[in-house]
Amino acid sequence: MSFNPPDGSPHRVEPVPKSANLVIVANRLPVDRVEQEDGTVAWRRSPGGLVSALEPVMRSNNGTWIGWPGGTDSDLEPFEEGGMNLVPMSLSAQEIEEFYEGFSNGTLWPIYHDVVAKPEFHREWWDSYVTVNQRFAERAAEVAGKGATVWVHDYQLQLVPQMLRELRPDLRIGFYLHIPFPPNELFQQLPWRRQILEGLLGADLVGFQLAGGAQNFVRLVRQRVGHKTHRDLVYLPDGRTVRAAAFPISIDAAGFEELARSEGVGKRATAIREALGNPRKIFLGIDRLDYTKGIHARLRAFSELIVDEHFDVEEAVFVQVATPSRERVEQYRILRDEIDRLVGRVNGDLGRIGRPAISYLHSSYPREEMAALYRAADIMVVTPYRDGMNLVAKEYVACRFEDDGALVLSEFAGAANELRQAWLVNPYDINGMKSALLEAFEADERETSKRMKAMRKTVLANDVVAWANSFLEGLSHERPSHGKQVRPATRS
């Protein structure tokens, strides 16, 4: 989705519906407000998988989406786009620093991702997190109709369920965490651990990517908050129960496949291969430029295979797309410099004229270009140190409609739970990664095709529509007597 209203302002259509039956509350709106070079404003689809995940269910329910459009503009009017009512929330420059870059991405993000980077704890960041969560909850309380379903998303908004329940006890509230939920030992470092658990307990259903996350949560609630629990249920003193369960997220698998099959994408894939000098094998990595993604170690593993003379730059190239992300956060800046340096060194040492070992692109691309890259690549390399799911792995599989192509996948990505036929690797083990990359490079057609067929079956059968419907159905069972049913999402 991409649009650019003539006057540069969002086209306001209807006033915000005060009676939405389905309200999505997420840190990001599905579109970003971007200032163009000529000073005009355009709207672009936001980064991250959440948007594509929720679009179908929003369309089916004419839902309302509350979120931040990026930037510091204040008080943008609600507007409508593609069957969704969008309600922009503004963040001040200080809130961006303290709530978004600070508590969300400097405290929670590293703690929830195995402390791959060191989390920072600052009381003013926490205060800002509380303030912003409260404002999101108040807005949701305003737009939700009686007995409506409100679905709150991700680590930036973990206090919203409880705050919203206090304002609107009639609502059916779901919460879904898109990133991993950490083991007790790490979660307990958080000075505000109890408030966060209580915030989440405002929901009727708390969803996680994996069963392990749900179990961690229930155990922590029992130990830290002292509520009774039994299996996946938490019993609250007021008689309410909260269920914690796994709902592994997915992608619009048929949509990706259709795109990959299109003539335009096919031609573009051929052009990409040609531009790279038609090497025997193309390795591909596509990630947000994030320290959890293991980009550095994977590029080292690849380059060592060239040094060890398993193949040379005429035979193989690594295309690494790194989408700019959280660029003002120091750890992200450091990471960018490290990768710039590594790519420069590897290409300087190993490349030849017109033949870099690594073709590195620090940029984000539209879906069509991603699909063309997936089609062009023989070996997809997804090696995060920790990842809630990793939708890129599933997108690659969805695009390989000829049952070819190899996937090298980290054991520590949620996707590894489902994509068992990938070449699974421990991303901390560089020699292990080298072996897996080499095996994938040398694997014969029968082997890759057998593996890809099995993975495609999994991905096509469990798409994002099935994910959204199963969460919403689960939520309606948790709170059966309240409000209208949400209509299931339909495949477009």
Task: Mark 176-195 with x for binding to ligand G6P (rule: CB under 6 A) and - for no binding.
Answer: --xx----------------
Report strand pairing: 79-81 vs 84-88: antiparallel
Cα separation of the two ends of the chain: 14
**The binder of ligand G6P chosen from 325, 347, 448, 476 (CB under 6 A):** 325
d(CA 1, CA 46) in angstroms, rounded, equals: 9
Q: Which residues contact 97 (CB under 8 A, 6 or more apart)?
A: none
Please list every residue from 48 through 77 that binds ligand G6P, using CB under 6 A.
48-50
Q: Which is nearer to ligand G6P, 17 or 63 (CB)?
A: 63
Q: How far is the CB of 14 from ligand G6P (least distance, A)?
A: 27
Dihedral (C-alpha) 54, 56, 59, 62: value to the nearest 10 degrees? -50
Please list every residue from 135 through 164 that binds ligand G6P, using CB under 6 A.
154
d(CA 375, CA 264) in angstroms, rounded, equals: 12
d(CA 489, CA 62) in angstroms, rounded, equals: 11
Q: How far is the CB of 154 from ligand G6P (least distance, A)?
A: 4
d(CA 200, CA 161) in angstroms, rounded, equals: 6
Please list every residue from 30 through 49 that binds ligand G6P, using CB under 6 A.
47-49
d(CA 253, CA 418) in angstroms, rounded, equals: 14
Q: How many residues bind ligand G6P (CB under 6 A)?
A: 11
Q: Which is nearer to ligand G6P, 108 or 358 (CB)?
A: 108
Residue number of the CB closest to ligand G6P reads 48
Q: How far is the CB of 131 from ligand G6P (least distance, A)?
A: 19
Q: Which residues contact 239 (CB under 8 A, 6 or more apart)?
A: none
Q: How far is the CB of 48 from ligand G6P (least distance, A)?
A: 3
Q: Which is nearer to ligand G6P, 153 or 375 (CB)?
A: 153
Q: Which is nearer to ligand G6P, 63 or 414 (CB)?
A: 414
- Tokens in use for 340? 């710039």
Please list every residue from 326 through 345 that binds ligand G6P, using CB under 6 A.
326
Q: How far is the CB of 240 from ligand G6P (least distance, A)?
A: 27
What are the DSSP E strand ranges found in 347-429? 358-361, 379-382, 406-410, 423-425
Please list every residue from 275 through 304 that binds ligand G6P, using CB under 6 A.
none
Q: How far is the CB of 178 from ligand G6P (least distance, A)?
A: 4
Longest dimension (CA), the chain: 71
Q: How far is the CB of 27 from ligand G6P (least distance, A)?
A: 6
Write out the residues near ligand G6P by the rule CB under 6 A: 27-28, 47-50, 154, 178-179, 325-326
